[in-house]
């Protein structure tokens, strides 16, 4: 879902409207207009019924906005930055930079939205008689909004992700088991069950002439199933990235020259490999002397010097220290490689053994291939080579999103996130 258009800022939080929101605004206006047309004060005035339908729909989304603001303001109090609040086809969503680092903090943030909706429902239902004395149509509008807020609160308390009730369930399981991952698994499972129930109920009601309500249930269930499937896939990727290590995933995409070899040797090496090297990134050239790794050399000397100097100057005169290359140890977990690759301007990492000596290299295609093997999937060689040429993850694997979610959820130890550069 894109960000949509920004309307304003509330307490520094951007309020955005996604284009899909206008679809649901029109549908809700139509539904509420049909109900308003049956009211005694508006039955003979189509314009008034449409106005009441539009006002009800807009005020409902104001309620949704206040619901999301409840989440956001409590999140700010918990020290969590709120990126934006977006109204879209299925309601509203508050995007946060990370999750709370404690289960009870997560509980308070999740519970704040339904609490706001309950308060709004109570206030509106308590005010309906006074509003009805002033104007019967106004009283009807206030009563309807009260019940809509009550439904909004109760619906969001259903115990399954991605609803608030699922987040509350996740926080409670986290609190009692000490495992946030276990909380996510339980809430995802209940979310999947609720989504299936909503789809089946929606289909049943549609066959019985349920109309808009039935279709809305099916849409919500479908959205919930998608979110549940995405969460399950993310969990599977996260578990692999934490279990797998860099060593077995690495390849040896580097070449070796002796320090006393001439620059022409470097040129000849590049020429010999030109036909076979179709990668976006050429192999690194490491330099050794008497069996010891002492540095690496780039192609820059070949560009800076005239050809006649290539036989006079050696690779060792132009080498650079190995410490400049971004590196990880063989024993590091694979999630570290995902983060390090994003930070590396080289698009590749040097892999070192226990003694700190180079043992291989690692790029995005290597990481993706290792993850797919962990999922018992074998990537055909042409697809792997295509991924390597593009320097991206095979099949568009969302590995960076998985690791970002791990950081946001506090699943990674802060001390473990320091990367070897």
Task: State the Cα–Cα distance between residues 397 and 241, nearest whole angstrom.
Answer: 12
Cβ-proximal residues to 8 (8 Å cutoff; 6+ apart), any chain: 14, 15
Cross-strand bridge partners of residue 46: none
Report phi then psi at 410, rounded to 5.
Answer: 75, 20
Q: What is the pLDDT of residue 417?
A: 44
Q: Quick check: 69 and 117 in contact, CB under 8 A?
A: no
From the list 113, 5, 26, the residue with the least C-alpha distance to 63 is 113
Return the domain boundaries, the chain. Answer: 5-243, 246-417
Q: What is the pLDDT of residue 244?
A: 93
Q: Quick check: 161 and 228 in contact, CB under 8 A?
A: yes
Task: State the Cα–Cα distance between residues 370 and 355, nearest whole angstrom.
Answer: 24
Task: State the Cα–Cα distance between residues 198 and 210, nearest whole angstrom.
Answer: 13
Q: Is 97 a catalytic residue?
A: no
From the list 266, 256, 325, the residue with the least C-alpha distance to 301 is 266
Catalytic residue among 68, 78, 99, 369: 68
CA distances to 119, 226, 337 from 236, in Å: 39, 15, 17
Task: State the Cα–Cα distance between residues 307 and 233, nearest whole angstrom.
Answer: 54
Mean pLDDT by 10 residues, the chain (421 residues): 75 88 86 78 74 90 93 91 85 81 90 95 91 84 91 88 88 88 86 88 83 77 78 81 92 90 88 57 84 89 89 90 91 92 88 88 91 85 82 84 75 46 40
246-417 is a CATH 2.60.120.470 domain: no
Q: Is residue 88 within a helix (H) or strand (E), and if so which, with residue range?
A: strand 82-88
Q: What is the pLDDT of residue 41?
A: 66
Q: Is 290 exposed, middle or buried (0-12, 13-18, 19+ CB in 10 A)?
A: exposed
Residue 389, both tokens: 């040429």
From the list 132, 356, 369, the residue with the least C-alpha distance to 249 is 369
Q: What is the pLDDT of residue 129?
A: 87
* pTM of the shown model: 0.67
Cross-strand bridge partners of residue 358: 352
């Amino acid at each position: 879902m894109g960000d949509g258009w920004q309307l304003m800022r509330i307490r520094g939080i951007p309020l955005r409207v996604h284009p899909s929101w206008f679809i649901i605004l029109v549908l809700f206006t139509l539904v509420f207009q049909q109900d308003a047309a049956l009211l005694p004060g508006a039955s003979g005035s189509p314009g008034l019924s449409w106005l009441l339908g539009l006002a009800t729909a807009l005020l409902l989304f104001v309620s949704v906005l206040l619901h999301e603001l409840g989440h956001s303001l409590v999140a700010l109090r918990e020290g969590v930055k709120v990126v934006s609040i977006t109204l879209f086809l299925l309601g509203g969503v508050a995007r946060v930079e990370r999750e709370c680092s404690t289960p009870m903090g997560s509980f308070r943030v999740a519970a704040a939205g339904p609490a706001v909706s309950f308060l709004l429902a109570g206030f509106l239902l308590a005010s309906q008689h006074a509003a009805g004395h002033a104007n019967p149509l106004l009283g009807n509008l206030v009563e309807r909004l009260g019940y809509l807020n009550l439904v909004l609160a109760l619906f969001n308390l259903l115990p399954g992700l991605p609803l608030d009730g699922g987040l509350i369930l996740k926080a409670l399981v986290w609190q009692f088991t000490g495992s946030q991952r276990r909380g996510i698994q339980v809430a995802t499972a209940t979310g999947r069950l609720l989504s299936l129930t909503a789809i089946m109920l929606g289909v049943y009601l549609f066959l019985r002439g349920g109309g808009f309500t039935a279709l809305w249930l099916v849409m919500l269930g479908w959205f919930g199933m998608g979110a549940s499937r995405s969460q399950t896939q993310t969990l599977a990727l996260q578990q692999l990235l934490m279990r797998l290590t860099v060593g077995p995933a690495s390849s040896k995409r580097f070449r070796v020259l002796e320090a006393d070899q001439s620059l022409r040797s470097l040129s000849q090496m590049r020429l010999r490999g030109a036909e076979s090297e179709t990668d976006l990134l050429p192999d690194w050239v490491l330099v050794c002397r008497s069996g010891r790794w002492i540095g690496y050399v780039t192609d820059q000397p070949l560009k800076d010097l005239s050809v006649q100097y290539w036989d006079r100057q050696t690779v060792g005169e132009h080498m650079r220290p190995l410490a400049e290359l971004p590196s990880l140890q063989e024993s590091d977990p694979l999630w570290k490689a995902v983060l390090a690759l994003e930070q590396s301007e080289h698009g590749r990492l040097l892999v070192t053994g226990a003694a700190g000596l180079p043992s291989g290299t690692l790029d995005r295609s290597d990481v993706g291939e290792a993850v797919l093997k962990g999922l018992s999937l074998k990537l055909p060689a042409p697809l792997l080579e295509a991924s390597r040429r593009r320097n991206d993850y095979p099949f568009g694997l969302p590995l960076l999103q998985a690791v970002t979610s791990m950081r946001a959820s506090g699943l990674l130890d802060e001390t473990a996130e320091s990367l070897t550069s």
